[in-house]
Amino acid sequence: MTGNGDEPFITAVKPLVDAMGGEMLPPDEAGPDDVVLAWEGVDAVAVRLPQLADSLDHILAAMERKQGKPLADLDRKAKQEVVRILEARGAFSVRHGVETVASALGVSRFTVYNYLNREKEN
């Protein structure tokens, strides 16, 4: 991005930015909502964070890759675990989060709510 010996830093943070679904850009292109990261006192890279709804899609895609198959193909226990992980990551605070997760899991919104309520009872 800036080329001032910051390539190891950029290489180090790239997996984190990718996992969040963010975008890396030169610091001088940073907008007011972007996060500028400095390395050894010099602005090295700007990170544009995704919108929450985009983050949820990104998280679901990453979970699917980790499982090695569509989330809808998981058994009930595995789907409940997915819902537990997503709740811990704040997925259901996103507008239409329950609907998005239900669609990815191939279940109804009612089922997702049941999984959430079941988790709260334990």
pLDDT digits (tens, 9 = 90+) for 71-85: 999 999 999 999 999
Two structure tokens written together for 32: 């007011």
Two structure tokens written together for 94: 């996103």
pLDDT confidence tier of residue 59, bands split at 50, 70 and 90: confident
Whether residue 4 is predicted with pLDDT greater than 60 in this model: the reply is no
Least confident of 3-12, 77-86, 94-103, 105-114: 3-12
How far is the C-alpha of 19 from the C-alpha of 71, rounded, in Å?
18
**How far are the Cα atoms of 17, 46, 83, 95 from residue 76, in angstroms, in the given order?**
31, 41, 11, 24
